[in-house]
Chains A and B, each alone.
Chain A
Amino acid sequence: MPPIKGPYVLGVAEKPQAASRLARALDENKKPVLKKIKGVPVYISLRNGKKIVIVPAIGHLLTLSPLSKSWNYPVLDYHWIPSHIANSKARTKNFVDTFKSLSKEASEIIVMTDYDREGEVIGFLILKYLLGKNNAERMKFSTLTARDINEAYSKRSKQLDVGFLNSGLLRHYVDWLYGINYSRALSLALKRVSNRFKTISIGRVQGPTLGAVVNLENEINIFVPIPFWTIESEAIINKKKFKAFYEKTQLDKEKEAKIVVKDCQSLVGIVTDISDEQKPMYSFPPFNLGDLQRESYKHFKYSPSKTLKIAESLYLKATISYPRTDSQKLPMTLGHKIILTKIGNQTVYGTFIIEILKRKKFKPREGRKTDAAHPAIHPTGNPPKTLNSEEKKLYDLIVRRYLSLFGKPALISKKKIEITVEGHKFEVRGSKIIDEGWIKYYKPYFYMSESLIPDIALKSQVNFSFIESKEDFSSPPRRFNESTLLNKMEQEKIGTKATRAGIIETLFDRGYIGGSEIRPTPLGTAVVGVLNSHYPVLIKSDMTRELETTMEEVQEKQSNINEILISIKKNLRDSLNVFHENETEIGISLYQNLLNIEKKDPVLIGKCPECKVGDLRIIKSRKSGKRFIACSSYFDKEINCTVTFPLPNYGTIKPTDKKCTFDGLPMVEWQTGRNKRVMCVSMDCPSKANIKGRKKK
């Protein structure tokens, strides 16, 4: 017997939370019936006598898998299989079964997934492989508000978006092909020369991103600071002291700096020019995902992936619009007056809204970037209920940015006084906010310090408290943090707004990079080193950028992807042939690099507590591949110390100077991704009792 009696319209949602919102909005009484089928929440809405059954997915329910079972390369043939078959840990089986069981009685199907490439692919794969259809109607919305959902339902299109679908599918195929083939090629190259298996994974976007981190580190490693001099001075105007800027920001020769100081030793100058101008300062453009991720990192230190996760949660709570957007546009059709009025009900923003509504200008300031699918990120006006502290912070940032778009330009007065001392020009600079305008709404996320300088007449005499030279040195380039690495990926045009944060996360998880000031790990450096000398195409942006352009074109022109795939596969096969020819050389080089790292960095943990002669060091078992701590005196025939301590087999282990307060043994730092923990090397240490207890529970 079917779980729900038909006929009904079957709605395919992307996530359970989205399904719930869709069902509530589409039900005439706003009270859909919830039925659990195999634990999957299925919603039944009634609308104009029609039954709408909305079933959620949980992201992708299907995944690509090679047709051949041999672990070799090139792998060019694949098929889609349910994710739970490819990976037993995937909890998707019940969702797959539910879709299949409900497909029989469905009279119509509507795809209600997020309107973007991934949403289109998720919907299409469910349609084709679980529901046995090739097409369905499509609802397109940018927020999960009742207003948008109902409009999307009444204006739903007759078919899926071909541009998004083809571009999304192509991206899946290309990423899968490059990832599986090059990871296998590198791992096999190492295995064939060393008989040692280690998964060395690399992807189409991961390669150039890791390459950028390693290249920067190489640049820092060979940096030589160069001396330069600045002229520091302080002018006294109306008995107050002001920093004065010398006409040249830096001088390259010591002699030149000394001459300036000698020339100016009278410390007396004459005002030779005064300028005072008022300039408007416009608000920043609306948030697209990249801008939001940067601003969130700047103010809250949230990583790009964390920001995306929080923004998605806010979207699912219908408090903000769809966050995966490039757009800096906010069309008038969004109904800004209604949104602003609704935001006005939140007391924090009430007074700002009264001001904005009084001005009656509801056209927000916009930026240049566009996105075919969604507008810029904006609040929906729905009351933000049950937000956690992180969501509250991000929500506040998004609302204030949105409000700032309706504010007047700020008016800034900039005053400059030029003082000449024996032919050398100095400048005292002041600034004052005449009218705060939009800044008032965006505080505390924008701050401008004011410095007021008094009025003074031309040709007045000005005394200086000092004019001195200061020796300084150029600095090496700054390491990337997650936000600047994301910028770099945007500049290089690798990855997409939706995938970049995830790629950075993967590089952390695979142990290629680490730290908040990102440094490559020895493994990351070794992989890039080998690829750089034997296969640079994988760590340069050119190939990835070209593929991105091709995929963008597929979306715009809605072109057929089969021909493109044939050509991509041909290029891949050719380049893998080249790899195969150099496989031994690459394998040797990779093996030597890895050996060098292991040799160079015998990670010393401290003195052995038992024999008190040897050093505790991290050893990796050749047989099992597992690592542990052992005493170096094991090899000393006279001592033959057999002290060992087990270690977790994932993450990075670093020595620390700390000793455990319980047993006096050395402590190590264990880093997995961004998480760091300092712990005692002994498993029996009382400090670990809590962890053991937790595990037992």
Chain B
Amino acid sequence: MIDKKCKICQDEIDKSSGKFCSNHKLAKSKLQNGYELWLKAYDSLPYDDFLRQLLDLGDLVGALVKDITEFELYFQETK
């Protein structure tokens, strides 16, 4: 059965995302754009390191982005 709840907040999922609600879907896309900019800035940076460094930045990181970061880092089964 397909789970229709957001993996993070249990809200209704956004149909086009299949995994997250619309808010977390937007946060996920911001996170991906952010990673591209971090890659340009540092030349090379593994994705997990990017996520860990992001979590170290505390309140600078948006709450929804933090949710996604933690989910990707600790709960994602396949990366």
A151 located at the interface, meaning its Cβ lies under 8 Å from any Cβ of chain B in the complex: no
Shortest beta-carbon distance, A472 to chain B, in Å?
Answer: 10
Residues of A within 8 A of B (CB): 220-228, 252-255, 473, 475-476, 596, 600
Report B-chain residues with C-beta under 8 Å of the C-beta of A226. Answer: 34, 37-38, 41
* Residue contact A224 to B30, C-beta cutoff 8 Å: yes
B11 located at the interface, meaning its Cβ lies under 8 Å from any Cβ of chain A in the complex: yes
What residue in chain A is nearest B57 (Cβ atoms)?
Answer: A225
Known: A473-B57, A600-B9. A222 touches B40 (CB 8 A): no
B43 located at the interface, meaning its Cβ lies under 8 Å from any Cβ of chain A in the complex: yes
Shortest beta-carbon distance, B57 to chain A, in Å?
Answer: 6
Shortest beta-carbon distance, B37 to chain A, in Å?
Answer: 5
12 contacts between A and B (CB under 8 A): A220-B63, A222-B23, A222-B62, A222-B64, A223-B30, A223-B62, A224-B30, A226-B38, A227-B38, A227-B41, A228-B41, A254-B41
Cα-based distance from A600 to B38 in the complex (angstroms): 33
Report B-chain residues with C-beta under 8 Å of the C-beta of A475. Answer: 60
* Residue contact A253 to B41, C-beta cutoff 8 Å: yes
* Residue contact B60 to A473, C-beta cutoff 8 Å: yes
* Residue contact A224 to B31, C-beta cutoff 8 Å: yes
Cα-based distance from A600 to B6 in the complex (angstroms): 13
Report B-chain residues with C-beta under 8 Å of the C-beta of A252. Answer: 40-41
Residues of B within 8 A of A (CB): 9, 11, 23, 26-27, 30-31, 33-34, 37-38, 40-43, 54, 57, 60-65
Report B-chain residues with C-beta under 8 Å of the C-beta of A221. Answer: 23, 27, 62-65
Cα-based distance from A43 to B31 in the complex (angstroms): 70
What residue in chain B is nearest A225 (Cβ atoms)?
Answer: B60
What residue in chain A is nearest B26 (Cβ atoms)?
Answer: A222
What residue in chain A is nearest B66 (Cβ atoms)?
Answer: A221
* Residue contact B62 to A220, C-beta cutoff 8 Å: yes
What residue in chain B is nearest A227 (Cβ atoms)?
Answer: B41
Shortest beta-carbon distance, A258 to chain B, in Å?
Answer: 11
Within the complex, which residue of B34, B40, B42 is in contact with A224, where a contact is CB–CB below 8 Å?
B34
Shortest beta-carbon distance, B63 to chain A, in Å?
Answer: 5
* Residue contact A223 to B61, C-beta cutoff 8 Å: yes
Shortest beta-carbon distance, B49 to chain A, in Å?
Answer: 12
What residue in chain A is nearest B63 (Cβ atoms)?
Answer: A221
* Residue contact A476 to B43, C-beta cutoff 8 Å: no
Known A-B contacts: A221-B62, A224-B33. Give 13 more (CB < 8 A).
A220-B63, A222-B23, A223-B30, A223-B60, A224-B30, A224-B61, A224-B65, A225-B34, A225-B61, A226-B34, A226-B38, A252-B41, A254-B43
Shortest beta-carbon distance, A215 to chain B, in Å?
Answer: 13
Report A-chain residues with C-beta under 8 Å of the C-beta of B34. Answer: 224-226
What residue in chain B is nearest A475 (Cβ atoms)?
Answer: B60
Number of A-B residue pairs having CB atoms within 8 Å of each other in the complex: 57
Report B-chain residues with C-beta under 8 Å of the C-beta of A227. Answer: 38, 41-42
Cα-based distance from A600 to B34 in the complex (angstroms): 28
Shortest beta-carbon distance, B64 to chain A, in Å?
Answer: 4
What residue in chain A is nearest B60 (Cβ atoms)?
Answer: A225
A-B interface, 8 closest residue pairs, ranked by CB to CB distance from nearest: A224-B34, A223-B62, A225-B60, A221-B62, A221-B64, A222-B30, A227-B41, A222-B27
* Residue contact A222 to B41, C-beta cutoff 8 Å: no
Within the complex, which residue of B11, B40, B41, B65 is in contact with A223, where a contact is CB–CB below 8 Å?
B65
Cα-based distance from A225 to B50 in the complex (angstroms): 11
* Residue contact B62 to A224, C-beta cutoff 8 Å: yes
Cα-based distance from A224 to B67 in the complex (angstroms): 12
Cα-based distance from A190 to B53 in the complex (angstroms): 44
Shortest beta-carbon distance, A214 to chain B, in Å?
Answer: 12
What residue in chain A is nearest B64 (Cβ atoms)?
Answer: A221
Report B-chain residues with C-beta under 8 Å of the C-beta of A225. Answer: 34, 54, 57, 60-61
Cα-based distance from A226 to B35 in the complex (angstroms): 9
What residue in chain B is nearest A533 (Cβ atoms)?
Answer: B22
Q: For A223, A224, A253, which residue has the most chain B Cβ atoms within 10 angstroms?
A: A224
What residue in chain B is nearest A228 (Cβ atoms)?
Answer: B41
What residue in chain A is nearest B9 (Cβ atoms)?
Answer: A600
Cα-based distance from A596 to B11 in the complex (angstroms): 8
Report A-chain residues with C-beta under 8 Å of the C-beta of B40. Answer: 252-253
What residue in chain B is nearest A229 (Cβ atoms)?
Answer: B41
Cα-based distance from A224 to B32 in the complex (angstroms): 10
Cα-based distance from A253 to B44 in the complex (angstroms): 11
Shortest beta-carbon distance, B20 to chain A, in Å?
Answer: 12
Report B-chain residues with C-beta under 8 Å of the C-beta of A476. Answer: 60, 62
Cα-based distance from A600 to B30 in the complex (angstroms): 24
Cα-based distance from A254 to B34 in the complex (angstroms): 16
Report A-chain residues with C-beta under 8 Å of the C-beta of B37. Answer: 226
Report A-chain residues with C-beta under 8 Å of the C-beta of B61. Answer: 223-225
Shortest beta-carbon distance, A475 to chain B, in Å?
Answer: 6
What residue in chain A is nearest B28 (Cβ atoms)?
Answer: A222
Report A-chain residues with C-beta under 8 Å of the C-beta of B33. Answer: 224
Report B-chain residues with C-beta under 8 Å of the C-beta of A228. Answer: 41
Shortest beta-carbon distance, B35 to chain A, in Å?
Answer: 8
Report A-chain residues with C-beta under 8 Å of the C-beta of B43. Answer: 253-255
What residue in chain B is nearest A226 (Cβ atoms)?
Answer: B37
Shortest beta-carbon distance, A697 to chain B, in Å?
Answer: 45
Shortest beta-carbon distance, A63 to chain B, in Å?
Answer: 41
Cα-based distance from A474 to B61 in the complex (angstroms): 10
Cα-based distance from A254 to B62 in the complex (angstroms): 24
Report B-chain residues with C-beta under 8 Å of the C-beta of A222. Answer: 23, 26-27, 30, 62, 64-65
What residue in chain B is nearest A224 (Cβ atoms)?
Answer: B34
Cα-based distance from A501 to B44 in the complex (angstroms): 50
Shortest beta-carbon distance, B59 to chain A, in Å?
Answer: 8
What residue in chain B is nearest A599 (Cβ atoms)?
Answer: B10
Cα-based distance from A682 to B36 in the complex (angstroms): 54
Shortest beta-carbon distance, B39 to chain A, in Å?
Answer: 11
Cα-based distance from A397 to B62 in the complex (angstroms): 39
Cα-based distance from A253 to B43 in the complex (angstroms): 8
Report B-chain residues with C-beta under 8 Å of the C-beta of A223. Answer: 30, 60-62, 65
Shortest beta-carbon distance, B67 to chain A, in Å?
Answer: 9
Cα-based distance from A557 to B24 in the complex (angstroms): 51
Cα-based distance from A252 to B38 in the complex (angstroms): 9
What residue in chain B is nearest A251 (Cβ atoms)?
Answer: B41
What residue in chain A is nearest B27 (Cβ atoms)?
Answer: A222
Shortest beta-carbon distance, B21 to chain A, in Å?
Answer: 10
What residue in chain B is nearest A257 (Cβ atoms)?
Answer: B41
Q: For A225, A252, A253, which residue has the most chain B Cβ atoms within 10 angstroms?
A: A225
Report A-chain residues with C-beta under 8 Å of the C-beta of B63. Answer: 220-221
Cα-based distance from A537 to B54 in the complex (angstroms): 37
Shortest beta-carbon distance, A249 to chain B, in Å?
Answer: 16
Cα-based distance from A632 to B65 in the complex (angstroms): 32
Cα-based distance from A476 to B30 in the complex (angstroms): 13
Report A-chain residues with C-beta under 8 Å of the C-beta of B54. Answer: 224-225
Cα-based distance from A228 to B40 in the complex (angstroms): 11
Cα-based distance from A225 to B23 in the complex (angstroms): 18
